[in-house]
Amino acid sequence: MSKVLVVGAGGVSSVAVHKMAQLIEAGTGPFSEVFLASRTIAKCEAIAASVRKRTGVDVPVGAIDADDVAAMTALIEHEQPALVINLALPYQDLPIMDACLATNTDYLDTANYEPRDEAKFEYHWQWAYHERFQQAGIMALLGSGFDPGVTSAFTCWLKKHHFDRIDTVDILDCNGGDHGQAFATNFNPEINIREVTAVARHWENGDWVETPPMSVSHEFDFEGVGPKNMYLMYHEEIESLKTHLPEIQRIRFWMTFGDEYIKHLTVLQNVGMTRIDPVVYEGKEIIPLQFLKAVLPEPASLGETTTGNTNIGVIATGEKDGAQKTLYVKNICSHEAAYEETGNQGVSYTTGVPAMIGSALMLDGTWRGDGVFNMEQFDPDPFMDMLNKHGLPWKLEELDGPLEF
Ligand code: NDP
């Protein structure tokens, strides 16, 4: 049984901590204690109060600025966790990895590092830590959320059990939820808007293909949601999938957006509110996107009002025993059920549960290695089993043929 340190106290953190507390309450391991630290201690205290009410488990809390490597190092030294679970923002990935190196402690996150001044989602900054983690005899697991995370496990599971070779992969991320607000994002607004306004990139025949943001879309009928427009986007698991499964000729990522979301985002972009370079306002430098984040609803506050389902899955076409086939593996998650269980909406739920599962597999030694790893480098079976047991059941369907677009 092991103690973990969770950093960050937003929606994803709240779900992961509730889920770990459920296991502590059941006494089934591998978690013995969760210490929760974030920049705003009141948010940690609110999560701890909810966890106590729902499970009876006490979660001690503390304040931390995770950008401060010395402070992070001191916190890890004081709390002595077996694993640090980074559920703050991608900006904190490298400082927390530095603190893990300084203290010989394992690391896990759900989103790859990006520099504040450039919306670049690439693994190379974190992959560059591999040798140092290896030499220290510690492990980092990158991207243990839903996408990336579950989508990587879905692809590896399809390859392991159903294909001799996969030729194309399409990841379809649909949030069919309605939060009742004119405009809100279902995870951190700053990270969400940086992602959505970035140039779309997919992998095809050994190369990146770029298209302008939100310029390619198709309608798709999502089970549990209905027909929705989905847009071609860049997403970080394309990079890890093409690296670890190089046979795949084409990997694309699609996300649904409603007309209202696109209308608001277009206006915000046109007036310069999504800029990430500093502008001077009343003698002080501000970043318009960070200011916008401050006035938008917090993702963690959307749980109570959100209704409907998410539906996220992978469609793969490839060959088995000489015949072509197309398989679709997906999870449908109810926002209302997620809220009922943890007090958070479905997007936080679908990320927080895989963060708990990846942590459990590291702690009990099922997924082990020295160095920095992506999800694709481990056996998907134990992860897929735990999804079914811990609130994200998935199903497999054979399609008549490949996607027509
Ligand atoms: P939130 O914005 O709700 O929460 C982020 C938390 O991190 C806040 O509590 C914030 O504190 C804290 N934080 C920010 N900066 C620091 C810092 N310097 N030191 C300590 N704490 C800090 O985000 P979400 O919960 O929605 O998302 C969390 C992470 O999960 C993000 O990295 C996001 O990209 C990732 N994600 C991954 C997905 C996947 O499927 N793989 C899907 C959705 C999200 P404060 O309140 O003080 O600002």
Mean pLDDT by 10 residues, the chain (405 residues): 97 97 96 98 98 98 98 98 97 98 98 87 95 98 98 98 98 94 86 89 98 95 97 96 98 94 91 94 95 90 92 98 98 97 96 98 98 98 98 98 96
Tell me which of 61, 89, 108 to substitute to probe ligand 1's pocket, judged by most ligand atoms within 8 Å of the beta carbon. 89
- Tell me phi and psi for residue 22, to 5 degrees: -60, -40
What would the two tokens of residue 239 be?
A: 């990079």
Residue limits of CATH 3.40.50.720 in the chain: 2-142
| Å from CA of 111 to ligand 1 middle | 10
Burial of 182 (0-12, 13-18, 19+ CB in 10 A): exposed
| Å from CA of 9 to ligand 1 middle | 7
| Closest ligand 1 atom, residue 144 Cα | 41
pLDDT score of 186:
80
Instruction: Enumerate residues lining ligand 1, CB below 6 A.
Output: 7-13, 38-40, 43, 64-67, 87-90, 92, 110-111, 145-149, 187-188, 191, 298-300, 347-348, 351
Beta strands 83-86; 106-109: pairing state: parallel
How many degrees, rounded to 5, is the angle at CA 340 between CA 14 and CA 146?
50
How far is it, in rounded angstroms, from Cα 190 to Cα 285? 17
| Å from CA of 308 to ligand 1 middle | 23
Residue limits of CATH 3.30.360.10 in the chain: 150-344+387-399
- Specify the 3-state DSSP secondary structure of 294: helix
Q: Which helix (H) or strand (E) holds 297?
A: none
CATH of 2-142, picked from 3.40.630.30, 3.30.420.130, 3.90.1150.180, 3.40.50.720, is: 3.40.50.720
| Closest ligand 1 atom, residue 186 Cα | 26
Going from the C-alpha of 368 to that of each of 24, 45, 142, 221, 361, the distances in angstroms are 22, 32, 13, 39, 8
| Å from CA of 297 to ligand 1 middle | 14
Using CA positions, which residue lies closest to atom 13 of ligand 1? 88
**Helix residue ranges, H only, 27-149:** 41-55, 69-79, 93-103, 124-127, 130-136
Cβ neighbours for 378, distance < 8 A, ≥ 6 positions apart = 361, 367
- Report CA Rg, the chain: 20
| Å from CA of 278 to ligand 1 middle | 22
| Å from CA of 87 to ligand 1 middle | 5
pLDDT score of 95:
98
How far is it, in rounded angstroms, from Cα 188 to Cα 190? 6
What's the one-letter identity of residue 226? G
| Closest ligand 1 atom, residue 147 Cα | 40
| Closest ligand 1 atom, residue 88 Cα | 7
| Å from CA of 247 to ligand 1 middle | 34
CATH architecture of 150-344+387-399: 2-Layer Sandwich (3.30)
pLDDT score of 175:
94
